[in-house]
Amino acid sequence: MSDTLKYLENQGLILKKVIEDDSKRNTEYYLSEKGKKMNKVLYEMVIFGLYELEGDLRDDEFKEEIRKGYEEILL
């Protein structure tokens, strides 16, 4: 997992933020501007998969929930 995060950070897709307080150290990751551009590509792939490929996702309400949830991420 850490190798993947390092790779994504080195590629400029995510940003790392270390938060330290008295009791613990947390690391948070955020999409960079470049990563947000990639997210749009992934969104289109998700929508294509939901509506064009055969599979277990036959429930239209579930598909719509996924689409709306993903669109919220993009905003």
Q: Where are the domains of the chain?
A: 2-74
Confidence of residue 73 (pLDDT cuts 50, 70, 90): low
Tokens of 9: 């950070």
Place of tokens 């991420």: 73
| Dist. CA 62–CA 68, nearest whole Å | 10
**Please, where are the H alpha helices in 1-75?**
2-10, 33-52, 60-74
Which tens digit of pLDDT belongs to each residue from 14-37? Answer: 999 999 888 888 999 998 999 888
Taking the model in full, what pTM does it have? 0.57
Of all helices (H) and strands (E), which one includes residue 29? Answer: strand 25-31
Copy the structure tokens of residue 22: 């008295």
CB-based contacts of 39, cutoff 8 Å, min separation 6? 31, 73, 74
Mean pLDDT of 39-51: 81
CATH 1.10.10.10 fits 2-74, yes or no: yes
